[in-house]
């Protein structure tokens, strides 16, 4: 299994914090966001390599961070990490999350099972448990949580309807009328057999930006299951959210 961290966005909603620094390298309690994610991935013995997809504007910053990070952890075993440059220099040029996912798949000739992770979340659930859930089902899986109130999802977040077996039977991307209180979080594991479907999705000129649109489309083509977690998961999509999460983790020590 390979892990792909999508970090090529320009995070304009987080300006001025991300004007000259990628969101994934923003410090939370003194440590870049992406290092928390990599620590979670490292626990997963199935992950053989991590790809980080970024843009040309921030490629050198990621490369410098990676060299320093690997030097700092030289005595600790972690999966091999490679940074991929998607070649864009501005938000207007961006390939979109699905475009960047396909860039990684195509350029690295990947046919493995893929863990796909967004880079704008701080989360407490176990990625090792996520992998075990996938291995039990051998089908696409999506992390989800029950927020308990549809108003928290209305026009804001992806929403899924799940049957008794845990299969996602309907997916709504930022719905005005949510059909459940279960939020879809943009963390996925796709079996290698799904890769041709991702190619088909793009060939049909579907939305390349939000991962939820791909998940919605895939859930209509093959089985996709909801990995329901109850632990904390924080979004750092705007300055207020970033400061709040930084304060929470600073207090945790």
User: Is 212 contained in some domain?
Assistant: yes
Residue 30: CATH number of its domain? 3.90.550.10
**Residue 107 and residue 8 share a domain:** yes
Helix axes 195-203, 211-219, angle to 10 degrees: 110
Q: State the Cα–Cα distance between residues 66 and 81, nearest whole angstrom.
A: 8
**Residue 58 and residue 135 share a domain:** no
Give, in degrees to the nearest 5, the angle at Cα 185 between 2 and 70: 40
**Residue 104 and residue 20 share a domain:** yes
**Residue 178 and residue 105 share a domain:** no
Boundary of a domain, candidates 77, 103, 120: 120
Q: What is the pLDDT of residue 252?
A: 87
Which segments in the chain show pLDDT lower than 50? none
User: Is 153 contained in some domain?
Assistant: yes
Q: State the Cα–Cα distance between residues 101 and 244, nearest whole angstrom.
A: 29
Boundary of a domain, candidates 86, 120, 154: 120
Positive/negative CA dihedral, 30, 126, 146, 8: positive
**Residue 97 and residue 2 share a domain:** yes
**Residue 155 and residue 113 share a domain:** no
Per residue in 136-195, pLDDT (tens digit) is 999 999 999 999 999 999 988 889 999 999 999 999 888 899 999 999 999 999 999 999
Domain of residue 180 covers: 125-231
Total domains in the chain come to: 2
Q: What is the pLDDT of residue 75?
A: 57
User: Is 247 contained in some domain?
Assistant: no
Please state whether beta strands 159-162 and 49-54 pair in parallel, antiparallel, or not at all (unpaired). Answer: unpaired
**Residue 88 and residue 139 share a domain:** no
Distances (CA, A) of 26 to 112, 135, 168, 176: 30, 33, 33, 32
**Residue 106 and residue 144 share a domain:** no
User: Is 250 contained in some domain?
Assistant: no
């Amino acid at each position: 299994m390979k892990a792909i961290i999508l970090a090529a966005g320009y995070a304009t909603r987080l300006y001025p914090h991300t004007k000259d620094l990628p969101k994934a390298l923003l410090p939370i309690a003194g440590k870049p966001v992406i290092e928390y994610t990599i620590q979670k991935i490292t626990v997963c013995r199935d992950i053989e390599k991590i790809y980080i997809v970024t843009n040309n504007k921030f490629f050198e910053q990621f490369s410098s961070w990676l060299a320093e990070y690997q030097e700092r952890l030289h005595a600790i075993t972690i999966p091999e990490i490679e940074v991929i440059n998607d070649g864009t220099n501005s938000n207007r040029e961006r390939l979109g999350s699905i475009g960047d996912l396909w860039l990684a798949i195509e350029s690295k000739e990947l046919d493995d099972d893929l863990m796909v992770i967004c880079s704008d979340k701080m989360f407490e659930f176990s990625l090792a448990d996520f992998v075990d859930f996938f291995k039990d089902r051998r089908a696409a899986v999506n992390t989800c949580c029950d927020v308990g109130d549809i108003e928290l999802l209305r026009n804001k977040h992806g929403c899924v309807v799940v049957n008794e077996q845990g299969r996602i039977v309907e997916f709504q991307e930022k719905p005005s009328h949510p059909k459940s209180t279960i939020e879809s979080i943009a963390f996925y594991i796709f079996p290698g057999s799904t890769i041709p479907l991702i190619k088909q999705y793009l060939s049909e000129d579907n939305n390349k930006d939000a991962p939820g649109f791909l998940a919605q489309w895939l859930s209509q083509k093959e089985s996709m299951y909801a990995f329901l977690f109850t632990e904390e998961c924080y979004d750092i999509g705007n300055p207020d959210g970033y400061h709040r999460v930084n304060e929470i983790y600073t207090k945790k020590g």
